[in-house]
Amino acid sequence: MEFSLSPSEIIEIIQASTTRGSTTEMLHGIASLQAAHPGELSFLGNSKYKPEVAATAASIVLLPLDYVGEPKPNQLFLLLEKPSLGLARLCGRLEQMLWPKPTPGIHTTAVIAPDAQIPASATIGPLCVIESGAVIGERTHVQAQAFIGRKARIGADCWLKSGVKIATECVLGNRVLIHDGAVIGADGFGYEFVAGRHQKVPQVGRVVIHDDVEIGANATLDRARFSETVIGEGTKIDNLVQVGHNVVVGKHCLLCAQVGFAGSTTLEDYVVIGGQAGIAGHITIGRGCKIDGQTGVNSSLEPGSSVKGSPCLPYSVEQRINVVRKRLPELFKRVDALEEALNKPSANA
């Protein structure tokens, strides 16, 4: 992002234990030691990059307390126990600058049903639609062009980015962050095959998202058949993830991009799923399971399982298979040779 901070402002943000040297440069960027230019800040996050510190052109470098070298002219070293913590402090400050608190109020171009409940502390951006009976929480920020359906309920301190769609009667807790274009509450995919046609099974449930959930751009979470599709507290869902109807995701799970769920599956807490993995319907994934990227899970997993492959096997088994599978054509030849050797009369002569 674009910023401009003086060395003294940086010192105040970073809260370093010691400083070494000084710089007159205004700071306007963060970069790796190798890539940094004057006017940028860098950091030693991993001791293997220590040799790069002496060569960096960064104007400010965050370093661990035990770092012994001296800065160049017009270069400032900030020493602190954990440089990564100092970097986090700076990024936290930048985040506030990048996304400043919006002014509360309803944009004149938003289309708001007369009976929607919107507190004075909320911000409704331009060209949003908020339908009848919807309830918005305190300080919640609904960005441009978002859609909140009839009787949907959004908690406090949420942030719905541009073009987010929350369909009829869906429910969000507090501090839920939903990225642009995500769709919460489209119909589940359910049909009965009758007389040669797929007849729609009504999807009349809803989606319930608990506190502190984050949902990625263009992700889709379907409403339940007649009860609830649930995302547990603190779970983080990446872009383009598909959550089918009646799926129940536990607390503090991580679902990476493009993961897909068929319907009616339950995830217990602290499950981590790598990108593009697919989870079948009507199964249970136990607490703390780790599912590798592109994995296919077709049956329930015990708590603490770590799996990989499609269809999946225990991680270590799949890894061992992957070590040998490249030699599979050779194995066929070896078995051919063994058979030939055994069948040769001379072999046993």
Residue 204, phi-psi category: left (phi > 0), alpha (psi -120 to 50), beta (remainder): alpha
CB of 60 to a second copy, least distance (A): 14
CB of 214 to a second copy, least distance (A): 7
CB of 68 to a second copy, least distance (A): 27
Stretch that binds a second copy, among 20-28, 63-71, 94-102, 299-307 (CB under 8 A): 94-102
The amino acid that residue 151 corresponds to is K
Interface with a second copy, residue 99, by CB under 8 A: yes
CA atoms within 13 A on the CB side of 169: 13
Stretch that binds a second copy, among 9-17, 54-62, 114-122, 331-339 (CB under 8 A): 331-339
Nearest to 243 by CA among 159, 293, 182, 303: 182
282 is known as an active-site residue: no
CB of 338 to a second copy, least distance (A): 5
Count of residues near a second copy by CB under 8 A? 107
What gap in Å lies between CA 286 and CA 2, rounded to an integer?
44
Interface with a second copy, residue 31, by CB under 8 A: yes
Q: Are strands 220-222 and 242-243 parallel, antiparallel or unpaired?
A: parallel
Interface with a second copy, residue 9, by CB under 8 A: no
CB of 286 to a second copy, least distance (A): 17
Given CA atoms 50, 51, 52, 56 in this order, what sign does their dihedral have?
A: positive
3-class DSSP state of 338:
helix
Contacts (CB under 8 A) with a second copy, residues 181-220: 181, 183, 186-187, 189, 191, 196-198, 200-206, 212, 214, 216-218, 220
Nearest to 305 by CA among 322, 319, 323, 292: 292
Stretch that binds a second copy, among 51-59, 114-122, 134-142, 234-242 (CB under 8 A): 234-242
Interface with a second copy, residue 106, by CB under 8 A: no
Are 23 and 59 within 8 A, CB to CB? yes
Q: Which of 55, 68, 120, 323 binds a second copy (CB under 8 A)?
A: 323
Q: What is the largest CA-CA distance in the chain?
A: 98
Are 166 and 148 within 8 A, CB to CB? yes
DSSP-assigned beta bridge partners for residue 291 = 273, 307
Contacts (CB under 8 A) with a second copy, residues 263-322: 275-276, 278, 280, 293-294, 296, 310-311, 313, 317, 320-322
Q: Which of 15, 282, 299, 334 binds a second copy (CB under 8 A)?
A: 334
* DSSP per position, 26-75: PB-EE--TTT--TTEEEE--SGGGGGGTTT---SEEEE-TT----PPTTE
Among residues 24 and 108, whose Cβ is nearest to a second copy? Answer: 108
Which listed residue (141, 179, 210, 245) is catalytic? Answer: 245
- What is the contact mask toward a second copy in residues 118 to 157, using x (rule: CB under 8 A)? -------xxx-x-x------------xx-x-x-x------
How many residues are present in the chain? 349
Are 70 and 21 within 8 A, CB to CB? yes
Interface with a second copy, residue 163, by CB under 8 A: yes
Question: Mind telling me the catalytic residues?
Answer: 245
